[in-house]
Amino acid sequence: MAPFLLALAAFLAVARVDAFTTRSWDESFSLAAEAVGQMTQDEKIGLLRGVGQFGSRCVGNITPPSRSFNLSSTTLTIPPICLQDGPAGIRLVNNVTGFPTGINTASTFSRRLMRARGAALAEEFKGKGVHVFLGPAMDIMRNPKGGRNWESFGPDPYLTGESAYETIIGVQSEGVQACAKHFLANNQEHWRYGASSNVDERTIYELYGYPFFRSIEADVTSVMCAYNRFNKTSSCHNGPLLDILREQGFRGYTVSDWGATHDSAADNANAGLDMEQPGDWILIGGAVFNGLKSAVNNNSVKPERLDEMVERVLAGLLHLGQEKDYPAINFNAQKPDGSGDLNLNVNVRSDAHTALVREIGAASAVLLKNDRSNATRGLPIDIKKFKTIAVVGQDAKLPKLNCNDLGECNEGTMSVGWGSGTNSLDFLVPPIDAITSWVGSSATITSSLSNDLDAGASAASGKDLCLVFANAMSGELGFYSNVYGNLGDRNDLDLWWKGGSLIERVASVCKNTVAVVHSVGPVALGWTTNANISAVIYAGAPGEQTGPSLVDVLSGTVNPSGRLPFTIAYDEADYGTEIVYNSGNGQPSIDYTEGLFIDYRYMDKQGIKPQFEFGYGLSYTTFNYSSLSIKNSGSSVEVSFTVKNSGSVDGTEIPQLYLGFPAGAGEPPSVLRGFDDIFLKAGESKTVTMTISQRELSTWDVPSHSWVKPSGTFTVSVGASIKDIRLTGTF
């Protein structure tokens, strides 16, 4: 889809917010209270308790009253509210699109694409009759090996917050409820059902909670509490933790992760949990709201609290107008192959969604290296100049589709991780197919679609151009306990199946080797300095159009603009955190002693030089920065500057703004506080303006329990990455 059409779509998505947010929260709660006043106790509890893991058509449903309610301004018929994974597309359902992952969406640094993706996701969820999109995930990448990092948006709270904000605006503009997850500090898969994440108050507000605060500002309808304990109390009945949401203005309802509830109904309800899913015991927990009726009858849960819980759930439904003219559930997640009487096999795919997936895939591809020392080296590739091409690596071929949440199915190209956050991958265009179509009869392709080192070297030997593919995957622990020896979290940062060795072997026999990496996060890239490797593309986990989006970049149809949403270090120790694999004695208690200092924040503090820094990414053109202006109004700071495309190729630049706090503020040396995606024709210039808000200028002050702007001199740094600063100023 042309950029101007997507821009129009994004504009319309903004305009549709008013159309679908049919009622204010106050009006929604007023109507909800009317309905609750007419309900029996059993009807109320039916709205708060899931129907069971295997008794629902969706991943989660509630039991609605069998009757309608006549309210002052409407007749309310409550549907069997449908909650469904996942953040990258609809899970356990056929005829849907495999969207790019959260981490790839962050790699675009494009609010336009973030919002457009949210709207497109919601169109498909709504088309299937899903009321609640269980996403976005906004778990901070505390350690790069965390299994579900790819579902979220990286280690930076500002980038994660903006990505979550735009996603939620997009989703709810289509009348679908978004569910922000997982609250809070859900950062590893090992021991996730009982490990305690111990986090100090300042780190809660400035790092792990920050994206959730942005989700509340986006008017998110629900928030999911996490499996892990938080400061040694189960997250779903952790009153001080859940109170933070209300303190920040959250009006919606809280829902448990599936089986994340423990102890009694009163413990959970009185702490602030409103809905329990899936409603029954699933080996790790759950079924506590089976005792909710008794808890109300014995007054351990006040009747007023029960009513409040129901009103919050109903208000979310009414707020987005889902009680009228909303599609009925037309699938059965228990039979994801589409069989059975309950599956109507409604096709919600569209050409527009396919085009968007392809655009995000290309916009999220990060060009890490590009040696253009002569006309036939590096990228973009003029295919007419080559007669023999090798395509090497199993990551180039089609994987098994419609796999059980993609666990143990990574024998082809990697487009998404495994687990409940994945999409129902029933369609995918692998790199080998897209490359073959692109090359046509221009050259002869020799392929070795395995990671056999000898076979790969044989295929590549003497070729004019070699494209070699490797990947690294991760996912959810859950019931996908062991995927090629990885228990959700990755064991290390190596490419799988000796992918790094494969790349080196190909480069040893091919002087023009282009390496493509699909990965869920940072990987070891020690081989990038090999002189025979002319280009390296980090393509991440880009969704079903992985082949076409890559060819768009290889061919120069798209000038790459993807930027790293995390740091790629030389050594694992450079990240300053670890996954706790072995606790020694029971569920571990994990102290987040690093506080605010993770990823680039930690490396900057320690003076560690990264291999590829946060925000890094090359282009086929060059950009100049000039004319920095800083205007401090006291409550906010406006920063403006000029960006010029000084090269000969049209392209998109991603200017980034980093803020340095006054000495003594206890902050990292610099933190991201602004970004934009600016398309410029060759020779064109544009003025870019970014605003730093009062909260973004502030630190969390524990004694006063408030945001406080420190006094002193702030430093503004603007550039193409955190290490490629072009303009600096102070205020």
Cite the active site residues.
257
For 388, the token pair is 């023999």
Residue 427 burial class via C-beta count within 10 angstroms: exposed 0-12, middle 13-18, buried 19 and up: middle
d(CA 684, CA 681): 5
| Spatial CA neighbour of 601 closest among 648, 642, 628, 567 | 567
How far apart CA 329 and CA 339 sit, in angstroms, is: 15
Surface-to-core class of residue 692, CB atoms within 10 Å of its CB (0-12 exposed, 13-18 middle, 19+ buried)? buried
Helix H or strand E segment including 625? strand 623-632
Q: What are the residues whose beta carbons fall under 8 Å from the beta carbon of 500, sequence distance 6 or more?
A: 470, 494, 524, 525, 526, 527
Q: Whole-angstrom Cα distance, residue 245 to residue 107?
A: 28
Closest CA to 328 of 127, 63, 69: 127
Measured over all CA atoms, what is the biggest interatomic distance in the chain, rounded to whole angstroms? 81
Beta bridge partners of 691: 638
Q: Are 520 and 473 in contact (CB under 8 A)?
A: yes
- Alpha carbon separation from 180 to 214, 225, 255, 326, 474 (Å, rounded): 10, 9, 10, 22, 21
Residue in this structure with the two tokens 């790459």, named with its chain if needed: 560
| 533-538 and 513-519 beta bridge pairing | parallel
From the list 399, 367, 572, 392, the residue with the least C-alpha distance to 490 is: 572
CA distance 312 to 306: 10
Whether 184 and 230 have beta carbons less than 8 Å apart is answered as yes
Give the C-alpha separation, 134 to 116, whole Å: 17
